[in-house]
Every structure is written in structure tokens, then in C-alpha cells.
Structure 1
């Protein structure tokens, strides 16, 4: 037993589906698929209003399931009206859906902009707090480098002085040894 079709009768696609169900009078989906092409699931979608049947398929269906003459002419007119309404409804739903998605994306983008503007403001505040620290650190570094240079210069001068004293002592020692050798 096939599952019962649920057709939304409040829509143009639902009205077209009801018309199609009445037209095929209980034909099996597999028979429709074999006779007209398309898959059984596509025919199921046409008959429950989930999809709008393509216009060429609708014409072929009308030719197969209505007798020629005024009955077919009336069915063609009614089917054409229903198809136009269902197609318009589908296009509006797609366009409206696109507009809604575009609006959502726009809102998301605005929220992201606001979020990142807040992050930028916070970052700028942190930078404003860090700038004086950076200046202070640079000054301390320059001061330390200057003190190191002075310490090196002082150490070098001190070593030069000690070297001078050592040379004097050595020269006295060498002189006194030479005097003692000469005397002795």
C-alpha cells in the first residue's frame, strides 16, 4: 500500500497537484514514470505539490488522460491557469528565499563589522596603554646601554692604569737586576 499523499491545498502548487491527482485517477507512479519518462519519485513530487510539473509533461499528461474536444480544451485552460499560478508561486518563493538569505547575510556581515570594530577599539585601547610602557622601556634600555658603555670605558681605563703601574714596576725590577749584575 502506497503512503498517503499530503497536499497543501492552500497553495497554488497544491491546487495543481489536486488537479493532477484527479486527472490521472489513481494511476501508479511507476506507470506514469514508464509512460512519460521521469522517475517515480519525480511523479510523486508532482502529484503532492512538492514540485511543479514541467509544462511539456503537463501537455502530454492532458493528451493522454482527457478525451479530445471540449473536455480537453477546458482541462487545458484550467491546467494552464493552475500551472502559471504554481510556477509564479515557486519563483516568488525562490526569489523571496534569496532575498531573505541575502538579508540574513547582510545582517550577519553587519554584526561581524560591529564585532570587529569593538575588537579594534579594544586593541587601540591596549595599544594606548602599552605605548607609554614601550617608551619607558626604550629609555631604560638606552640608559642601560649607556651605563654599560661607560662601565666598559672605566674598566678599560682602570686596566690601562694598572698596566702602566705594572710596566713601571717591571722596568724598576729589570733596572735593579741589571744594576745588581753590573755591580756584581
Structure 2
């Protein structure tokens, strides 16, 4: 089984691949994870790379953008974000695509370090809603990572000193959610 993760810098880290594969193995559904991720990209720029993802013909595609789209200086509106996600899901196959919502950001760390300026949770929430809208319009699944991060009382544990990029704990959360999604879908197939 092949799983493709199409995203930005958060998805470039080796942990995204190795932890997802580890959790899949532990759940009895081993798979190969292929990363299609470029640091700094938003969905408008990533449209050019869709031609690399489609030929991979993955069994499951996880689209994980939004951290850059939601940054004020990237100039991608929530409406454009929705349109771009719809384009991705349509090209990859809505029945095998899952959107991950834009992750929580630590605004205090962003203000302190000044490394990831132009990002706030108020702005992120618009992109979470936009991803949900794309899911509703296409029938692609949605994995609400933002909710999983914010209902936990220690949300800041998931992101590093810059307030945006994930810690090991953040990668454990996102990859375990991906693995559970894949396992659930595989179990549903076997019960059809």
C-alpha cells in the first residue's frame, strides 16, 4: 500500500514518513509513505507540483497545506485555498484523498521569535473552515488536526520554538491520526 503526503515544510521532515510507517505497521496495515512536500509552499504554488503527485497513484493521498496559505504575506484567500484543495482532490481522486486541517500555531512564540510572522489562530481558523468546505464539496475526507491540537490543554507541546513547525510530539500526533485514518479505511474495504 502506498500513501502520499502532499504538503509544505511540515511534511518535509523524515518523521512524517517514518512515524506514519511505524504506526501503520503497529496497526497491521503496513505501507510505504511518499512525501511530496516543499518548504514555504502554499497551495497556489503547489498546483505546479500536482503533476508529480498524480503519477504516484497512491492508495491514499493526504493533502496537508494551510500553514503558509494562512500567512498574511502569502496572499491566498480562504476561497482560493478551497478552490485549490478541490483541484488537488479531483486530480488525485476524491475517494482516496483526505485533507488535514491547518495546524494550530503558538502566537506567543511567533511574537517572541519573529520567525513566522503573519500567522495567527484567528486567521488559521478561516483556512480550517475552507478545508472543511472543500471536503463537503468534493466528498474527500477531512482529518481535523487543528481540533486535535487545540482540545489538548498542552497545545504548545506540538509546535517548536518558532511557533509553527512541529516537535516530535506534534509529528506523533499527526502521523498517528493519518495511520488511524488509513487503517479505518482499510477495515471498511474488508467489510464491504
Which structure is higher in strand share? 2
Q: Provide TM-score, normalisation by structure 2.
A: 0.22
Which structure is higher in helix share? 1
Higher relative contact order (CA 8 A, sep 6+): 2
